[in-house]
Every structure is written in structure tokens, then in C-alpha cells.
Copies of this chain bind each other. A is one copy, B any other.
Amino acid sequence: FLCVVFVNGNFCKDLAQVIANDFFFSGLNIPGNTRNKNGLNITLVNVDNLAVLNTLGISLACIDYAPYAVISPHTHPRGTELLVVIEGTLLVGFVTSDPNKLFTKVLNKGDVFIFPIGLIHFQINIGETATLAFASFNSQNPGFITIENAVFGSNPPINPDVLIKAFQLDKGVVEYLQKAFVPN
């Protein structure tokens, strides 16, 4: 990974080899293709595709939502999220840790919402049109844990007995879910 000496440390490359493009990412103007199962397109601008972000502690996600698309309950284990809606309408919510209090809000164009670090949250496009939003994070590597995929679709699968007991579901439902969310 590239990084330059803007930080308190010296793990990094020589400034002489750095160019403006190291700080540049493009293409977020192109509408994301949402013709998929989830009706979503998420483009990340984080340390994996903009290496200079390493140690700078910031990143971005550009999210396209087809009408009625849902971003399932998920967490970012290493960052707080600030979401701003560019076009469209979202119902968003997050759940605090103890007690499990839900906070929800309908967001329209120009609205901002904060999802604190590590808390489970979700977004749903409740409008009849495409929605576009930008999510910024105070981490270059915030992570993204989709609850149903992590719980029912991990590789290898979680022991069904754990899930049957935790979710109080029949064995058949758990097996059904574990097949449904198996990663491709």
C-alpha cells in the first residue's frame, strides 16, 4: 500500500513518487446498475481502492437504491457513518445496544443522518424512484457486516443448533435460510 508522510509515523513511500492521481477517484457520476437481486449498487472509495487513504481515517460509499430496495440490517465494525441523500427518499433506522431502542427517520433529498459506530442499521427506498446517497465514514476501512449474510450465509455455516436456539426458529427454517444465504 502507498502512503505518504502526512501522518505521525513513517511507514510510507517517498513524497517524490506521489502524484495527484493518488488522491483522486472517479466514476461516481455513473448511475450504478441496480438491476440485481437486491436492487442496490454500492461503490466504495476506501483504502482497498484508494491506497493513499491508509492512515488518513476517512472513506466514502456511493449507494444507488432501486425503488423499494432495502439495505438489510448491517453494521460497520470500525467506523461511524454520516449519510446524505442526494436524490430520492429513504426510511432509515438504527438500534442501540442495550436496551434495543430503534430510532427511525424518513430522509429526503438534502437530509443527513448519523449511524454511530458498530450499531445495527438499515435503509429502505420508500419512494417510487431511484435514490442516490453518499455515506462517509471516519475510517479508511470501516467494514460492512450484513447481518443475514454473516449469520446465515457464513463460510462454513454456523452450527444450526446455535441459530435454532438463538432465533427460536424451527430446524427447517434455519436450514432453509442457510441455503438461501450461502455465498456464491
- Complex partner residue of A29 from B1, B94, B104, B109, CB under 8 angstroms: B109
Bound complex: CA A64 to CA B70 (Å): 31
Is the pair B110, A29 in contact by a Cβ cutoff of 8 Å?
A: yes
Per-residue contact bits, chain A 147-171, to B (CB 8 Å; 1 contact, 0 not): 1111111111111011101111100
Query: In the assembly, how many copies of this chain are there?
Result: 6
Is the pair B165, A24 in contact by a Cβ cutoff of 8 Å?
A: no
A35 part of interface (Cβ distance < 8 Å): no
Given contacts A82-B60, A95-B150, A147-B147, contact A111 B141 (CB under 8 A): no
Is the pair A57, B147 in contact by a Cβ cutoff of 8 Å?
A: no
Is the pair B122, A47 in contact by a Cβ cutoff of 8 Å?
A: no
Given contacts A23-B105, A82-B59, A110-B30, contact A148 B167 (CB under 8 A): yes
Is the pair A56, B77 in contact by a Cβ cutoff of 8 Å?
A: no
Beyond A19-B103, A118-B118, 18 extra complex contacts between A and B, CB < 8 Å = A1-B10, A4-B96, A7-B141, A15-B99, A53-B114, A56-B114, A56-B116, A72-B166, A77-B97, A82-B136, A97-B150, A100-B150, A101-B155, A124-B159, A124-B162, A134-B134, A138-B138, A148-B167
Between-chain CB contacts (< 8 Å), 11 pairs: A4-B116, A25-B113, A29-B108, A60-B112, A60-B136, A72-B162, A77-B77, A97-B144, A102-B154, A122-B166, A124-B165
Chain A interface (Cβ < 8 Å from any Cβ of B): 1, 4-11, 15, 18-21, 23-30, 45, 47, 50, 52-60, 62, 70, 72-73, 75-82, 84, 86, 91, 93-105, 107-120, 122, 124, 134, 136-141, 143-159, 161-163, 165-169, 173, 177, 180-181, 183
